[in-house]
Amino acid sequence: MGRLFGTDGVRGLANVDLTAEMALGLAAAAATVLVDEGGTAHPRALVARDPRASGEFLSAAVVAGLASSGVDVLDIGVVPTPALAHLVDTSGADFGVMLSASHNAMPDNGLKIFARGGTKLPDDVEDRIEAAYRAGAPRRPTGSGVGRAHAGPDVEQDAQDSYVDHLLSTLPGGPGSLAGLHVVVDCANGAASAISPRVLREAGARVTTLYAAPDGLNINDGCGSTHLGPVTAAVVEHGADLGLAHDGDADRCLAVDAAGNAVDGDQIMAVLALALRDRGQLTEGTLVATVMSNLGLKLAMQREGVTVVETGVGDRYVLEALNAGGWSIGGEQSGHVVLPEHATTGDGVLTGLQLAARMAETGRTLADLASVVERLPQVLVNVRGVDKSRAGADAELLAAVAEAERELGETGRVLLRPSGTEPLVRVMVEAAHTQHAQDVADRLADVVRARLAL
């Protein structure tokens, strides 16, 4: 039986992999584990969701599971994941539960749990929740011991207003500082649809909005951070200064410059890290990134005197490193950027706002700011049907990787990574030229097939 919790909560096809019964059971198990840890007599939890249709019944199941376990629940409705995390922190709630499958297609959904303070759970706590869920013996208080549930449009609006006020308070130039900027924002018909355009407008920008009409079925459908075509076309058509694209729960943000060129998470991190450095706020001159970040980011930061600390793939590992080191920025190439001074998790709306603020602060174009990172060509080959467990131990494969690294030198890189969920090994190669990267990746993929064959 596989582990329920992945790198970002429990996720799968709604009503098949993630059912109402499972959501109720996991919520009750979370109450059992997290309330015991907190020692709260009558605990409080926040519940939120993105707009996908299945979130309606899944959030109802979570509320039922929590209230039946003696937890008072405030259902704040549709808000971005980072908004829930922020509100768990600022409200003093004992924990929070988010229903979202992030950038996945509409039929999927997921359940993420945030601890007191709005932080993601460590692996061992998730394991305890999973064990409690499988044991099937939740709290069952009676009478005045049962939890109370509160929801409604006023609750949702108050949650959105509080989050917007928080975001605006982070602007280095203060209210109205984005005046003169024209921003196109693609909300992916997701949780940021009512928030991201509003924040940018209240910050002073002129805003053109795309895909901000969620109907429960259209989330991430040909739009958002995994489909940059629409925001690219709109930026060029309207002559905008930049474009921003979120995913379904708005914990990530990618960008497009005025010419329609994509600006990925590595470039965004570099821009924001240098902004913090210039303000004297880049703690220990350090940026945290994952092993999947382009080598161009590391080389750029090296030139700028910024240290890059690498972690495993997943924003939770970035968060762990940030918390351990006390550093001020980290993130992923996919657009998850964490700014611990203002957020306890990746926040796409905050990221887009800070990126626009840097443009306004410096008077420079996004293309100019992002040019600090010269992205090296990156080739990824997935080798399927192999024994991924031997990827880090086969002597001939490791020798082939070492030889490839010598061949590439300081302007290239090899990463061999077993998939966490499938029987495959990912071969990633970076080099100064695309064809060279492709040749090396194909050669290593052949070695993987030969040496790790089932």
User: Which residues carry out catalysis?
Assistant: 102
Residue 347 marked as a ligand binder: no
Is-contact 303 323, C-beta < 8 A? no
Print burial letters for 399-413: b (CB count within 10 Å at least 16), e (below 16): ebbeebeeebeeebb
Write out the two tokens for 257. 């410059």
Residue 221 marked as a ligand binder: no
**DSSP secondary structure code for residue 433 in this structure:** S
Q: What does the alpha-carbon distance between residue 65 and residue 384 come to, in Å, rounded to a whole number?
A: 39
Residue 249 marked as a ligand binder: yes
- Identify each DSSP E strand in 21-118 by its residue range: 44-49, 72-78, 95-99, 108-115
Q: What does the alpha-carbon distance between residue 266 and residue 295 come to, in Å, rounded to a whole number?
A: 10
Write out the two tokens for 450. 């030969």
Write out the two tokens for 65. 């599971």
Q: Which residues contact 17 (CB under 8 A, 6 or more apart)?
A: 11
Q: 295 to each of 193, 266, 271, 425, 428, how far by Cα in Å?
A: 34, 10, 16, 20, 11
Residue 215 marked as a ligand binder: no
Is-contact 193 247, C-beta < 8 A? no
Q: 120 to each of 125, 184, 204, 347, 431, how far by Cα in Å?
A: 10, 31, 33, 13, 35
Q: What does the alpha-carbon distance between residue 319 and residue 142 come to, in Å, rounded to a whole number?
A: 39
CB atoms within 10 A of CB 30: 31
Cite the annotated binding site by residue number. 102, 247, 249, 251
Cite the annotated binding site for Mg(2+) by residue number. 102, 247, 249, 251
